[in-house]
Chain A
Amino acid sequence: MKSQQEVLRVSVETERELKLLRIKRILRREVGAWGFLLPHFFFFILFIAIPLIYGLTMSFYNWTLIGETRYVGLENYSRVWSDSRFWMAVKNTVIFAIISIPLVMGVALAYALLLSKKWYGRLWLMTAFVAPTFFSSVGVLTSWRWILGSHRAGLMNYYLTRLGILKEPISWFATSTRAWACIIGVTVWWIVGFSILLYIGALQRIPPEQYEAARIDGAGRWAQFWYITLPWMRNVLFFDVIRQVLLAFGLFDQVYFFTGGGPAGRTRTMVYYLYMVGFERQQLGRAAAISWYMFMIIFGFALINLFVLLKTVRAGAEG
């Protein structure tokens, strides 16, 4: 009788212990997993999540680093909205994006097709076309500014006059059209390499049988490009469009080095305008409002970005 009770008690106890053990194990698993995540998550909260909320709050205040902060409601937004310089900057940036994005992607595609073939000394070709994308803005842009110097021995002036394209040396950043041509040209030269890398990666993954089959069917080079190459590159092109949009709307360094926004604000971009308001005039609240306007302008593109990433993740999960 007694012993039976004891057995019962023991079994209840062991069951309880087992339960406790199981909870402990789950807890350890959860806590352990969080332990791996936590170091990164801490910085994510501090420097990504909080700034996101902070930025929104700041945009409703007259916010400076030293002076007193004062709630101003939508004043920052309405001030920016009625500032013609802001709209000029928006227009400039949008035009830059519309011209430079297809240009960069087109040039990158041409180079990628070229570089995915076998050449002698391919490493040199890769270095020349791809490496500049990893160069510092200061290195690249000071050199280009020197080449685009307005004196007659400036490299660009010298060769173009020698070739008879120019009659006399010109000042490259004097008119807005010319300045934009320089900014766009240098941008293509500078950033095309990253896209080339992405595209070569995609081209290498197209099974060669596809082309063989197409050749047997009598498809020409163009047909092969349209019906095999492009469809196979769809994902990478989607991804790159979004990347390019974010890059184009972030245009700053080229303007800072070449024109300082001139002539007469004609090359001022959205980021440059934000830099002027936020850091040259120390109006952080208004600059935050500008950044939210920018966010809304890029939002349409950002949605597409998310969509592409979603697909990427699925592909990654399945693959």
Chain B
Amino acid sequence: MTLTKRKILNLILSIVLWVFAAVWFVPIFWMFTTSLKQSTLATSEYPPQWIPKNPTLDNYRMIFAPASGISVLQGIKNSLLVAGASTFLGLVVAIPAAYALSRLRFKGRNAILWMYIAILAFPGIIFLIPQYFIIHRLGLMDTFWALILPGLGGTFGVFLLRQYMLGIPRELEDAAWIDGCSRLRFLLTIVIPYIKPAIFVLALMSFLGSWNSFLWPLLVLTSPNKYTLPIALVRFSAGWGDPYRGIGTLMAGAFVSVAPTILLFLIFHKYLLQGIYIGTVGKE
């Protein structure tokens, strides 16, 4: 009896929370609703309509087959390419580095480790101006490399993976050692599967970091066909005297930038919950 009573109470409270969560999520719902409206209608209707009277996919058509100027579709392609490459290359350099700094002994290891950790305490803004200059000097301005390469030197990912690798039992390594397993093979066949959750978390964080990045691409990209999605969206609406002139299309673009993230979150939320905590605060 009390059990069912409890269950009912829990259900009622759950429903209250669902409603509250729905209110919290209004910006995303409103974004989606607006993206299904004609822009002129969206700005003139009163009261605001939650369910559009004449829903239309025109805004999405505008994005995917642009009549002129800045292509949001090209922005999506560029963003996917840049985010994918940054994530992949980031893992390729960070995994072996984390392995060296957590499991191998060599001269200068501790010095480098402390340097890597100390750098994490520096605010990112310090690097903005000189990185901009270095990218300019290397002749990489207005290329995708300008978006991909600077991130590869970041130490957060190495730190996160190292925290995980410290948890690999020594016996496992000794056993592999006795079997004559090389370090590279040990890394590929034992370490990587062992730290899979950390790799997922890091991959997700660096993918989304690159997918969402705004200030840096705003500074280094100049030609419209190289714009990433956020820049394309901003430039797309930049020339309007009235900021809401093409609001329907703008919201369609915004929704396209948010939707994949929601999907990724739904797939990986369990990993995120475990991974972010262990990767930053530690095992305990």
A253 vs B34: C-alpha distance when bound (angstroms): 23
Q: Are A315 and B48 in contact (CB under 8 A)?
A: no
Contacts of A32-51 to chain B: CB distance below 8 A: 32-37, 39-41, 43-48, 50-51
Complex CA distance for A152 and B30, rounded to whole angstroms: 16
Of the candidates B97, B153, B158, the one whose C-beta lies within 8 Å of that of A46 is B153
Across the interface, name the chain A residue whose C-beta is closest to B22: A128
A194-213 CB contact bits vs B (8 Å, 1 = yes)? 10011011100100000000
* Most interface-central of B22, B100, B130 (chain A CB within 10 A): B130
CB of A43 within 8 A of CB of B153, answer yes
Q: Does A21 contact B (CB under 8 A)?
A: no
Residues of A contacting B: mostly: helix
Distance between A41 CB and nearest chain B CB, rounded to angstroms: 7
State whether the Cβ of A291 lies closer than 8 Å to any Cβ in chain B. yes
Whether B240 is near chain A, meaning CB under 8 Å from some CB there, is no
Partner of A136, one of B11, B150, B211, B237: B211
Enumerate chain B residues within 8 angstroms of A127, measured Cβ to Cβ: 25, 262, 265-266, 269
Q: Beta-carbon contacts of B1-38 to A below 8 Å, as 1s and 0s?
A: 00000000011011001100110111110110010000
Main secondary structure of the interface of B (DSSP, over half): helix
User: Which residues from chain B contact A40 at a C-beta distance below 8 Å?
Assistant: 93-94, 96-97, 152-153, 158
CB contacts (< 8 Å) of A34 on chain B: these are 100, 106
B129 engages A198 (CB within 8 Å): no
Stretch with Cβ within 8 A of A (4 or more), from B39-47, B55-63, B170-178, B192-200: B39-47
Report yes or no: B21 in contact with A129, Cβ–Cβ below 8 A: yes
Give complex CA distance A137, B129 in Å. 21
Quick check: A138 and B257 within 8 Å, CB to CB?
Answer: yes
Chain A neighbourhood of B118, CB < 8 A: 306
B215 interfacial by beta-carbon distance below 8 Å: yes
Across the interface, name the chain B residue whose C-beta is closest to A292.
B126
Q: Which residue of A is nearest B29, CB measured?
A: A143
Instruction: Given the known inter-chain contacts A142-B233, A303-B121, please indicate yes or no for A120 contacting B14, CB distance below 8 A.
Output: yes
User: How far does the alpha carbon of A307 sit from the alpha carbon of B172 in the complex, in Å?
Assistant: 32
**What does the 1/0 interface line of A249-291 toward B look like (CB < 8 Å)?**
1101100100000000000001100110011000010011001
- Interface positions, chain B 253-280, Cβ under 8 Å from A, are 254-255, 257-258, 261-262, 264-266, 269, 272-274, 276-278, 280
Which residues does B use to contact A, with CB under 8 Å? 10-11, 13-14, 17-18, 21-22, 24-28, 30-31, 34, 43, 45-48, 92-94, 96-97, 99-101, 104-107, 109, 112, 116-134, 136, 149-155, 158, 162-163, 166-167, 183, 187, 208, 211-212, 214-215, 219, 229-230, 233-234, 237, 243-244, 247, 250-251, 254-255, 257-258, 261-262, 264-266, 269, 272-274, 276-278, 280-284
Beyond A33-B100, A39-B96, list 15 extra A-B contacts (CB 8 Å).
Answer: A33-B104, A35-B96, A45-B153, A51-B127, A51-B134, A54-B134, A119-B10, A119-B17, A136-B212, A139-B31, A143-B30, A189-B27, A250-B124, A250-B125, A294-B126
Which residues of A are interface residues toward B (Cβ below 8 A)?
29-30, 32-37, 39-41, 43-48, 50-52, 54-55, 58, 63, 65, 114, 118-121, 123-132, 134-140, 142-147, 149, 151-153, 155, 158, 189, 194, 197-198, 200-202, 205, 235-236, 239, 242, 246, 249-250, 252-253, 256, 270-271, 274-275, 278-279, 284, 287-288, 291-292, 294-295, 298, 302-303, 305-306, 309-310, 312-313, 315-317, 319
28 A-B residue pairings within 8 Å (CB atoms): A29-B104, A29-B106, A33-B104, A43-B149, A47-B153, A54-B133, A55-B127, A125-B21, A127-B265, A128-B24, A137-B230, A139-B257, A143-B251, A146-B247, A146-B250, A151-B43, A152-B46, A155-B30, A197-B273, A200-B277, A235-B282, A239-B281, A250-B124, A284-B129, A298-B123, A302-B121, A316-B163, A319-B283
